Amino acid sequence: MPWLAVPYTDEARRSRLNRLYGIQGIPTLIVLDPQGEVITRQGRAEVLNDEDCRGFPWHPKPVLELSDSNAVQLNEGPCLVLFVDSEDDGESEAAKQLIQPIAEKIIAKYKAKEEEAPLLFFVAGEDDMTDSLRDYTNLPEAAPLLTILDMSARAKYVMDVEEITPAIVEAFVNDFLAEKLKPEPI
C-alpha cells in the first residue's frame, strides 16, 4: 500500500474522515487531488480492476459497465442501469455511447453547481452478477430495459420499451430528477 493511510488505531482521525467523506465501511480508498478534492470514492474498486494503475488517478467515467467489482456503487444512491441483451462487447459499447451524452450533461450540470451528480450511469450485459441483480430487484428479463435503481430507498423505476433512444433516456432521467416517476418497491 504505497499511499498514505490512516492507522486503524487512530480513532479520532478516522471518525473525522468518516464524517467528512461519508465513509460507511472499510476498506475504503478515496483518491484526492493535491487540493484535497475528491477524484473518486471508488479507489478500492479501481485498484482491483487496474492492478498496474494505468488509469491512475481514476477520474470517474460517465458510464460504467456493471461488474462484480463496481456493483457496490449501486448502494451509493440512485443509478440508471441500461440492461442489454448480449454478452457481446459491441452491444454494451453501443449502449454506453447511447447514454454517455446524457450522463455527461447531468454530471456537468451538477459539477457547475459544485454538487455531486444525483445519478450514476451503468450498462449491464448478460452475466451471473446481472442475473442476481435482476432477481434481487425483481426486474423482468426484457432487454433492452431502462431502469433507475435506488437501493437505499429500496425503489426502482422501470422504462420497458421496444427501443431505447437518447430522447427516451433523457426524458426518463429528467422525469426522475423532477420526481415525476412513481417508484416501485424492490
pLDDT band at 123 (very low <50, low <70, confident <90, very high): very high
129 vs 7, 85, 117, 149, 177, CA distance in Å? 33, 14, 25, 15, 27
36 and 103 in a single domain? The answer is no
143 and 170 in a single domain? The answer is yes
pLDDT band at 88 (very low <50, low <70, confident <90, very high): low
66 and 46 in a single domain? The answer is no
Tell me the mean pLDDT in the region 40-61: 86
10 and 95 in a single domain? The answer is no
- Show the domain range for 46: 1-60
93 and 173 in a single domain? The answer is yes
Q: How many domains does the chain have?
A: 2
110 and 181 in a single domain? The answer is yes
178 and 123 in a single domain? The answer is yes
35 and 48 in a single domain? The answer is yes
97 and 155 in a single domain? The answer is yes
pLDDT, tens digit, 9 for 90 and up, residues 19-46: 988 887 778 888 999 998 888 888 888 8
Over 70: is that where the pLDDT of 89 sits? no
DSSP E strand boundaries for 77-167: 79-83, 120-124, 145-150, 155-159
98 and 174 in a single domain? The answer is yes
Q: What CA–CA distance (Å, rounded) separates 96 from 65? A: 8
